[in-house]
Chain A
Amino acid sequence: MKKIISIFFILAVYFFASCENKTNRDLEGLIVYQENQISWTRNFEPLNPVSICRWPTRGGIYEPLYIYNPISTEWVPWLATNYEWKNDNRKLLFSIRTGVKWSDGREFSAYDVAYTLNLWKQFPALDTRNAWDYLQNVVAISDTLVEVDFKRVYVPGFEAIAGAYIVPKHIWSKLDDPLKFDNPDPVGTGPYTEVLRFNSQVWELGKNHNYWQKGKPHVEKLIFPTFSTNEQTTLALLSGNLDWAGAFIPAIQRIFVDKNPEHHHYWFRNTGYSTFLHTNTKDPILQDTNVRKAISYAINREQVVKVGMYNYTSPAHVTSLAGPMAKWHSPKINEKENWTAFNLEKANELLDDAGYKWKNKNERIDSNGSPLKFNIIVVSGWSDWVRSAQVISQNLKKVGIQATVRTYDFGAWIARMQQGNFQMAVGWADKGATPYNFFKSMMFSEYVKPLGETADINWHRFGIKEADFLIKEFEQTSDENKIKNIIYKLQHLFIEHAPGIPLFAELSWAECNSKYFTNFPSAENPYGPLSVNEQPSFIFTLLNIKKR
């Protein structure tokens, strides 16, 4: 019986192995992994925020006026060549690049830009950043000039307009309902626009022969097989059947790099912002700044990073800004209190002073005699954060605080966050090209909603007048020095009030196998981000990768 089975098995292997030629890989195409999928759907629609379009639709097929380089923290002119604020920052003028063609051969012009922005007005669902809240009017004055009029002065509005993906007027103007469009045959200005082959398991995107940057891109086509698990992705990277990926891989040095240090690379770049332990400042105990600081002092961030994050990242700076955002640090930062440093004594001292006494040497009680007890809510399945929360819970036990980790399904978690129905939670904070978005989300009192009401932002419900004033001032100015000063002051407020507790720096996952292709960016040659997940700035990398 055994013999029969084993013979059958060997025959089967032999039979199939002879049929499929495994070594045969197409070396003309760069194989990329960006999204977990088991079967592809043909969607190349860049505007709709809920539309799940194929990578690299946003950035690789459709391009914006300016692209923000998160490493140099500069706005790089792309489909526009220049911009200018006029009329006391009430008018924004964009000079549009000439010589750019849509991939179907038609000329690209300022009219496409104005059309795209007006599309947002017509279909508010496409206006993800709510730009028409401050926009008055967008018109193309000539083929190369777009004029944007503001209802009120709002300088940060530049980010939304400069980052808009521009679509061809001659295609979109013929649609009945742009909200249900899936754009199967894209016409864009980007470096890759031709869909060469498309089935449920693999598709290929060929280069745009009309691309406006002469001689680019270097690689003939991009190939996208489906990858649906971490194992599959890692294995393909190892075997040379995947060149460029943005996946989370645990123990990457041992699993991946050590197997071939010459070609196997990763670069988990610090994005400049931090992951947070959000504290509900409407909670009777957590509303006390000193309690929040005490909790922060009690967290052993080194351990959190080691256990929860595989030691990939680093403990958070007290402003939560690090890496490329460190350039915004206030010059006085070292004189300020550093409450993200691990300091049990300080934590105990603050809690003692706040009136929380020890009982039985293992827990603290409040004035009513009830123990100091909190829940930390985390999204179930977001395993790195669950681990981190578990470490935090063990850390807090040492200062007499009982913190229980509760995991919720994402939907339940976000509902609790938005309604303020939580005490502590591991989550993300808002970010942007400047720290303005971040500070606004942490301290702007107009964002604070009463408990029970849905808040899109500022879940921890903290706001102070001083911050409001600074934020409004920021929105009015385009003066570099003024901007810096405002950000410094916001940092001082953040450190003083501790509206949230930064845990560790956020990273973007990125790996490459340089066996067949070369010129990938790295920490030593950081011309762009290595991560495919950084939209649209992956395009710097996409344009530079070369066949070996």
Chain B
Amino acid sequence: MNKSILYIARRFGFYLIAAFAALTLNFIIPRLMPGDPASIIFARFKGKLKPEAIDAMRESFGLTNDPIITQYASYLKGILQGDLGISIAYFPEPVSEIIGGGLIWTIFLAGSSMVIAFLIGTTLGVIIAWNRTGKLDTILPPALAFFGAFPYFWLAMVVLYIFGFSMNWFPIGRAFGNEVNPGLNTPYLLSVLYHAFLPALTLVFVSLGGWMLSMRNTMISTLGSDYITFANAKGIPSRLIMLRYAARNAILPNLTGFGMALGFMLSGALLTEMIFSYPGQGFLLLQAVQSQDYPLMQGIFMTITLAVLGANWLVDIAILFFDPRTRR
């Protein structure tokens, strides 16, 4: 048990280093660019600001001419206190507040579609690996691979076009309707599900293939192992072999992939939101880019990174329980 704690602590240490690297990158990138960030920020007011006004505003944005180390220290200190600066496009709202509003939708969208895709994909993978003479195994992998080959946003655009624009079956954009009031009431929750349906569907659709293929391939390798042959020879029912012996072992790589896929899924969700105008982090990021809201952009990058790191750590802990080998 002590070893497990050590393992968890070590992983935690690693994620700390990764987070630190991301934060530093986040700090350095804007400062590597030509021109100082302050004048770029103020330039967006198209000369409406006079120099005196700019100097006064500089301070309220926390932009100073201190040496870089001092700036870095106050940047790290600000983050520890949850202070990500002030947004430009939403001035004078603090970045943390704006992000808080969007993060919930992203987690909801990415999280639920990921779980759904994982469950369906893994199950399909087990089935087609077991039954490799069936039609499914010849059709499904290439078909899913073909759909997976389309640029994701393009597929989403087409889906939105068909079901949103042409057929008018699903709403185009927003997380819930105008008529409902947020809260724990049925119309609101239904409206939320209705609005999330298409984005989630496309997300599940494109990520299904990956889960299925990796499950199929590891399942096939596992099925080739001696202990399966042995179990088979012993006359254990094949259903039992499939689920208890093969699938249980084959799922481990998929589980490890879960943490990694979370990053991809979040990225996917970001693109989905941009296409479906879904008010999560992704759309926020796009808007921040379009309106040159650099503090907001950096804040979003940071929260997403931290979210991915945190989730990976949780997955590490989960694997510890599923796979006794890591405990050694």
Interface residues of A (CB under 8 A from B): 12-13, 16-17, 19-21, 24, 36-39, 41, 43, 45, 48-52, 123-130, 179-182, 197, 199-202, 223, 225-229, 231-232, 235, 381, 409-412, 414-415, 418, 428, 430, 454, 456-457
Contacts and interface: CB of A to CB of B under 8 A. Distances in A.
A46 B165 CA distance: 38
B63 interface: no
Interface of B: 33-35, 39-53, 55-57, 60, 88-93, 98, 101-102, 165, 169-170, 172-179, 181-182, 187, 190-191, 193-194, 197, 277, 279, 283-284, 287, 290, 292, 294
Contacts of A17: 169
B111 to A, nearest CB: 19
B91 A48 contact: yes
B39 A201 contact: no
A19 B190 contact: yes
Contacts of A43: 90-93
Given A41-B93, A200-B279, A124 B179 contact: no
A338 to B, nearest CB: 29
Given A124-B56, A129-B50, A182-B92, 16 more contacts: A16-B193, A20-B177, A39-B102, A41-B93, A52-B91, A127-B53, A179-B56, A181-B92, A201-B175, A223-B178, A226-B279, A227-B173, A411-B40, A415-B34, A415-B39, A456-B50
Dominant SS at the A interface?
loop
Contacts of A127: 50, 52-53
B92 A415 contact: no
A51 B53 CA distance: 13
B47 A201 contact: no
A410 B44 CA distance: 8
Given A24-B179, A125-B53, A415-B39, A50 B91 contact: yes
Nearest to B174: A201
B88 A50 contact: yes
B43 A180 contact: no
Contacts of B33: 411-412
B173 A232 contact: yes
Contact of A49 (B53, B89, B277): B53
Given A16-B197, A19-B194, A418 B53 contact: no
B193 A51 contact: no
Nearest to B191: A20
Nearest to A132: B52
A52 B53 contact: no
B93 A199 contact: no
A221 to B, nearest CB: 13
Of A16, A36, A48, A223, chain B has the most CB atoms within 10 Å of the CB of A16
B287 A179 contact: no
B273 to A, nearest CB: 9
A48 B170 CA distance: 40
A200 B181 CA distance: 10
Contacts of A409: 292
A41 B98 contact: yes
A179 B53 contact: no
Of A124, A225, A235, chain B has the most CB atoms within 10 Å of the CB of A124
Contacts of B93: 41, 43, 182
A199 B92 contact: no
B60 A125 contact: yes
A49 B197 contact: no
Of A12, A20, A227, chain B has the most CB atoms within 10 Å of the CB of A20
Contacts of A412: 33-35, 40
Nearest to A177: B60
Contacts of B40: 410-412, 414-415
B257 to A, nearest CB: 25
A72 B177 CA distance: 41
A38 B284 contact: yes
A415 B43 contact: yes
Contact of B49 (A49, A179, A227, A229): A49
Nearest to A36: B287
Nearest to A421: B34
Contacts of B177: 20
Contacts of A430: 47
A135 to B, nearest CB: 13
B47 A457 contact: yes
B173 A20 contact: no
B54 to A, nearest CB: 8
Contacts of A50: 42, 45, 49, 57, 88, 91
A201 B91 contact: no
Contact of A200 (B46, B101, B172, B173): B101
A36 B288 CA distance: 11
A52 B283 contact: no
Given A179-B60, A412-B33, A128 B49 contact: yes
Contact of A232 (B46, B89, B101, B172): B172
A48 B35 CA distance: 25
A128 B48 CA distance: 6
A268 to B, nearest CB: 21
Contacts of A414: 39-40, 43-44
Contacts of B49: 49-50, 128
B92 A48 contact: yes
Given A412-B33, A456-B51, A228 B173 contact: yes
A225 B92 contact: no
A129 B52 CA distance: 10
Contacts of B284: 38
Contacts of A123: 56
B211 to A, nearest CB: 17
B108 to A, nearest CB: 14
B277 to A, nearest CB: 4
Contacts of A51: 91-92
B190 A16 contact: yes
B268 to A, nearest CB: 18
A227 B287 CA distance: 12
B292 A41 contact: no
Contact of A124 (B44, B52, B193): B52
20 contacts: A16-B170, A20-B191, A38-B102, A38-B279, A41-B90, A43-B90, A48-B91, A124-B52, A179-B60, A181-B92, A199-B181, A200-B279, A201-B178, A228-B287, A229-B173, A381-B290, A411-B292, A415-B34, A418-B43, A456-B47
Nearest to A197: B181
A539 B229 CA distance: 82
A216 to B, nearest CB: 26
Contacts of B48: 49, 128
Nearest to B140: A1
Contacts of B187: 19
A430 B46 CA distance: 10
Nearest to A10: B169
A273 to B, nearest CB: 14
A534 to B, nearest CB: 15
A237 to B, nearest CB: 13
Given A201-B178, A202-B178, A411-B292, A228 B283 contact: yes
